[in-house]
Amino acid sequence: MLREVTATRYVEPLRTGGSVPGVVEADDLGTYVVKFTGSAQGRKALVAEVIVGELARRLRLRVPELVRVRFDPALGADEPHAEVRGLLNASAGLNLGMDHLSGGADLTPELAETFTVDPLEAGRIVWLDALTANVDRTVHSSNLMVWPTRGTAPARLWLIDHGAALVFHHRWDDTAPDKAYDFRHHALGRYAPDTRAADAELAPRVTEELLREVAAEVPDEWLEGEPGFPGPDALREAYVTWLAARAASSATWLPVDFPSGDQLAAEEHARREKSRRGRPGWLQRVPDLHGKPAATQDWSAHLDDAG
């Protein structure tokens, strides 16, 4: 089972995602990014985090340690923002923490230009996302971190934020396990992901036994009350059945078509031009601020050993 810790200090909210996770210190002296049960995404997002994250770990992909976090809303009593304070007040009890990778950098398109990813590693990550119906790892929001970015240790990719995966569990009866999703704009598409080699390596390893082991990591209280299921064990078995069937049908959904970095840049340029042409004449000379890349730090000095 996942380790359980007790939060001892609420440090600050993170506003980079819709769920507004928070940085929390715990009684094991660790620091965690905590996703709360009271968020708008609800407990299914935490279920997806556990199942996808722990499956990735068993497939030897890098995921920060996940822990159960006991949280007392009194720790956030001094939070100045009423909306965040309301989130904390609705999240008493068991929440999900992820080891905080201090100093890590998001894999942005700008950083991706200097960071190298092996095609097989890229293929494994894309394959996992396709298996778990995770369409939320795109060039615009990679949900990938490069860490460490300082020191002599080589920088590596870490998988984070899987709450939007397992889209089938929002409509159990309507999503076929062999459904193909569009992964052309996956964050790692520029690295020529070798998804065929990844499929040959990983698909045989995603057995019902492995999936039951992963599903067992999800706390009962996050699985209770699901319509159509008599209890947590039945719901766990539904996840096992669906994912096992999807792994067995990988030939029908395996993504293999990825545009190059130049093609992505051309598509983005065309998008901006189309947006500009659609403006009234008096707006034609106004810059497209939404398409302009944000200023970024030069991480290249820290990534000499990246691989």
| Block residue for tokens 């080589």 | 154
Instruction: Let me know whether 50 and 93 are in one domain.
Output: yes
As a whole number of angstroms, the distance between CA 280 and CA 284 comes to 7
In a domain, 286, yes or no: no
Confidence (pLDDT) at 264: 74
Structure-token pair, residue 176 = 């076929």
As a whole number of angstroms, the distance between CA 82 and CA 37 comes to 17
Instruction: Let me know whether 219 and 143 are in one domain.
Output: yes
Instruction: Let me know whether 92 and 133 are in one domain.
Output: no
Confidence (pLDDT) at 1: 86
In a domain, 130, yes or no: yes
Structure-token pair, residue 117 = 């990813």
Confidence (pLDDT) at 20: 93
Amino acid, single-letter form, for residue 62:
R
Confidence (pLDDT) at 281: 64
The dihedral built from the CA positions of residue 153, 144, 133 and 138, taken in this order, carries a sign that is negative
Taking every pair of C-alpha atoms in the chain, what is the biggest distance, in angstroms? Answer: 63
Output DSSP code: residue 29: S
pTM of the model as a whole: 0.87
Q: Which portions of the chain are predicted below pLDDT 50?
A: 289-307
3-state secondary structure of 182: coil
For residue 89, the enclosing domain spans 4-99
Structure-token pair, residue 214 = 């992963």
Confidence (pLDDT) at 259: 85
Instruction: Let me know whether 49 and 116 are in one domain.
Output: no
pLDDT, tens digit (0-9, with 9 covering 90-100), for 5-50 = 999 999 999 977 678 999 999 999 999 999 999 999 999 999 999 9
Render 189-201 in DSSP notation, one character per residue: GGG---HHHHHHH
**Number of domains the chain is built from:** 2
